[in-house]
Amino acid sequence: MATEIERKFLVNGTDWRQGVPVRLCQGYLNRDEARTVRVRIAASRAYLTIKGLTQGVSRPEFEYEIPFDDGQVLLALCDGPLLQKDRYTVQHAGARWEIDEFLGANAGLVIAEIELEDERQGFERPSWLSTEVTGDPRYYNANLVGAPYQTWRHAAS
């Protein structure tokens, strides 16, 4: 079984903005708490991803590349609006960070993710890393579809 071990953090400043981002467009065929089924288009490639219930910082994850045309059709079947973001990949101290700059109704939100081999694995924090949001469901991509960042961010002001 494939397992994703991931930690998420908010981001400060713009020092993380390196290289050319990849535009991602994704939607959800299922956004149940126990499982999500996601369709993603990244540049000219399409993927279908199934994720199980998160326990700690781990969850089952199965990702498959699918034909691009199938991905476009599946996006049209998705529940709720599509999520769009630019993804930057940054190497720092031997670790690969994926930084997502959200667009549309989630504009203003920037999240850095690191995938680990083990839940206890240590890593060096880049200077642009801020608050950890790993366990906060508001920041789950599937939840940002139904409750976009700009709505709850402004509601808290």
Kindly list the catalytic residues: 28
For 87, the token pair is 């993804």
Q: What CA–CA distance (Å, rounded) separates 37 from 57?
A: 19
In sequence order, the β-bridge partners of residue 41 are 25, 46
Q: How many residues does the chain have?
A: 157
Query: Is 13 within 8 Å of 130 (Cβ atoms)?
Result: no
